[in-house]
């Protein structure tokens, strides 16, 4: 999980690739045979989802994701492994909810990483930085629309062909 968190924080702050952030942590989270939707890491997954929606002006989806992220972190008992200051993190989420509800435009988020986590991310990603301007790269902003889905389409076609062959 530590490597996934490092990659998450790098993508979140330096690249602002929130869709990828979601995928990174979800994959690592599901590798745990006892994973639960109440795990603290789910809050970060939901936060990334909310940021993705917010930047794309899907305010309903953003608020829904941020509220779920807040609920999960408030009910989580084990949070120390996330490498963030939990009280400050909760305030970040509350500020995001308020900003969306007021109709404020999206601005990049800076999570309150612990000094230890910042250092470990920097060691792994020497170009790690908290980018203060909004990334506008269409491939990142609209990733769910622009990503290569060839494998998914091929798998669906194979399944369809298999069902047809059974008839």
What pTM value is reported for the model? Answer: 0.78
Domain 2-135 has CATH 1.10.760.10: no
Nearest by Cα to 141 from 20, 14, 10, 25: 20
* The predicted structure's pLDDT at residue 154: 52
In three-state secondary structure terms, 14 is helix
CB neighbours of residue 42 within 10 Å: 21
pLDDT digits (tens, 9 = 90+) for 39-93: 888 999 999 999 989 998 999 999 999 999 999 999 887 767 899 999 999 999 9
- Where do the structural domains in the chain lie, given as residue ranges? 2-135
Is the Cα dihedral 54, 80, 91, 43 positive or negative? Answer: positive
């Amino acid at each position: 999980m530590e490597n996934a968190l490092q990659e998450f924080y790098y993508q979140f702050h330096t690249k602002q690739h929130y869709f990828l952030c979601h995928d990174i942590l979800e994959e690592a989270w599901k590798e745990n045979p006892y994973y639960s939707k109440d795990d603290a890491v789910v809050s970060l997954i939901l936060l990334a989802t909310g940021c993705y929606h917010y930047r794309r002006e899907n305010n309903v989806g953003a608020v829904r994701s941020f509220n779920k992220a807040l609920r999960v972190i408030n009910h989580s008992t084990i949070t120390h492994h996330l490498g963030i200051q939990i009280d400050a993190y909760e305030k970040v989420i509350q500020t995001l909810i308020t900003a969306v509800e007021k109709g404020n435009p999206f601005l990049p988020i800076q999570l309150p990483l612990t000094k230890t986590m910042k250092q470990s991310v920097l060691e792994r990603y020497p170009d790690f930085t908290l980018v203060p301007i909004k990334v506008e790269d269409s491939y990142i902003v609209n990733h769910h629309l622009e990503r290569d889905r060839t494998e998914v389409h091929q798998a669906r076609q194979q399944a369809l062909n298999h069902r047809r062959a059974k008839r």
